[in-house]
Structure 1
Amino acid sequence: MFALRPASPADRAALYRICLETADSGADATHLYRDPRLVGHIYAGPYLAFEPAFALVLEDGDGVGGYVLGALDTAAFEARLEREWWPALRERYPDPADVPLGARTPDERLAYLLHRPQRADPAVLAEYPSHLHIDLLPRAQGGGHGRRMLERLFAALRGAGSPGVHLGVGGSNTRAQGFYRHVGFQELARAPGGSLTLGLRL
């Protein structure tokens, strides 16, 4: 049986592990990265640190099996990361800008993002100012757990005054795309590389 509860600082290692084990379009990316913390530094750590009211974990007898992490005001969240999160990581991970794009390792591609974080499109933020990440290990998939996690997060965002939430999904991750559309997300934009931005009105 899985229980859904608020995340706590004690869950940080579990969130980082799940983030890595789902980072290859939903599959385990442990073999891709030399530094197992790097993915979590970008996609999990800052949410637990700065948006704990919108961080939930799914837990069973084997521990944490999934999470959903949200940011209420994406623009303010990005600004805070620029002030308080990225600087220390930039000191730890060198900027690989001098390495040709095709020659960069997976770690270097993420380090590049640390130095040049992706910014949300202001046109999207006008109606969908919040955003989220959700990841579930295989044992937690199915059974309606993902929908339950999202509904809990949607309620929290709605209660805090958000009119809409968005997320990004890789173009090759068709399973995730199907899930998001099933719970009500609609396509807002498609990047040249195939990644999608989906949004849902709250």
Structure 2
Amino acid sequence: MQLSIRSYRPGDREDLYEICVRTGDNGADATSLYPDPRVLPDIFVGPYLAQEPELAFVVADTAGEDRALGYILGTSDTRRFVARYLAEWLPGVVDRYPDDGGRGSELRHPEVMLGPGVDEYPAHLHIDLLPQAQGQGLGRQLMRTFLGALRERGVLRVQLGMGVRNVAARAFYDRLGFTELARPVPGLVVLGRDTLMAGADSGR
């Protein structure tokens, strides 16, 4: 394989959906955890590709079929993202999933992203890599690319949420200079950092 970073293309969408599911259980495969596992990317991938595809970047095997094996995506403005999610994204997907207290219910409430610190850290991101794309510095390269794109838009700080059980991911973020901002609910930690490149020069 010859792996490299490139911008997202519309043809990558299903690859990114699959990656999200295959890493959706604190980095492990979440396929068996949900009656319809596409609920995960319909929360954590689809709305970002619809709203800000220019902030989506992928790791692709350019020597093979050029399929995506990892990605980073997000929004430069969480408040705007939530408003558009409710108005534009949610109506098209909400009927697919039951409002039963699980992920289908989570899909209906993006306003949980508007917690303390959202104005100081207005951007947020999601990053996932399949095992064959890990351990080669590609996560670090994705992060640097994304932070650079935010900085070009005048965005000074970014945050992310992650499961506290994902120890490997927490170590990765710590190496990249993220610090803990909050623990809004049990099992979830919110981390943040500025968009300058210092501190993003070592990692996964």
- Normalised by the size of structure 1, how large is the TM-score? 0.90
CA contact (8 A) 1:95 1:111 kept: yes
- In the alignment, which residue of structure 2 is the partner of 1:39? 40
- Secondary structure of the residue aligned to 1:85 is helix
Q: Is the 8 A contact 1:78 1:119 kept in 2?
A: no
Deviates more, 1:112-121 or 1:83-92: 112-121
CA RMSD of aligned residues (A): 1.4
Deviates more, 1:35-44 or 1:151-160: 35-44
Amino acid of the structure 1 residue aligned with 2:104:
A
% identical aligned pairs: 46
106, 110, 124: which is aligned to 1:113? 106
For residues 110-189 of structure 1, what are the structure 2 equivalents within 5 Å?
Answer: 110-189=103-182
Structure 1: stretches of 5+ with no match in the other structure: 98-108
Alignment partner, residue 190 of structure 2: 197
Structure 1: distance between partners of 2:96 and 2:69: 29
Counterpart CA distance in 2 for 1:161 and 1:168 is: 22
Q: Are 1:68 and 2:72 an aligned pair?
A: yes
Residues 161-170 or 114-123, more deviating: 114-123
Shift of 1:192: 4.2
- Between the aligned partners of 2:85 and 2:192, the Cα distance in structure 1 is 23
Residue 121 of structure 1 and its aligned partner are, at CA, apart by 3.8
Gapped runs of 5+ residues in structure 2? Answer: 196-204
SS at the partner of 2:110? coil
Amino acid at match of 1:59: A
Q: Is the 8 A contact 1:187 1:198 kept in 2?
A: yes
Q: Structure 1 stretch 73-82 or stretch 83-92: which is displaced more?
A: 83-92
Aligned partner of 1:102 in structure 2 is: none
**Stretch of structure 1 that moved more, 181-190 or 34-43:** 34-43
Give the Cα separation in 1 of the matches to 2:10 and 2:51. Answer: 11
Give the superposition deviation at 1:118.
4.5
Give the structure 1 partner of residue 202 of structure 2: none
TM-score, normalised to structure 2's length? Answer: 0.89
Question: 137-146 vs 186-195, which deviates more?
Answer: 186-195
SS in 1 for 2:158: strand
| Aligned mate of 2:96, from 92, 96, 102 | 92
Q: Could you tell me how far apart the structure 1 residues matched to 2:113 and 2:98 are?
A: 24
The answer to whether the 8 Å contact 2:30/2:37 transfers is no
Q: Per-residue displacement from partner, 1:88-138 (whole Å, max 9, x unpaired)?
A: 2222223225xxxxxxxxxxx110112223522453122210000000000
| Contact in 1 for aligned 2:52/2:75 (Cα 8 Å) | yes
Partners of 1:8 and 1:48 within 8 A in 2: no
Alignment partners' CA distance in 1, 2:163 and 2:98? 26
Report which stretch shifted further, 121-130 or 172-181.
121-130
Q: Secondary structure at the match of 1:134?
A: strand
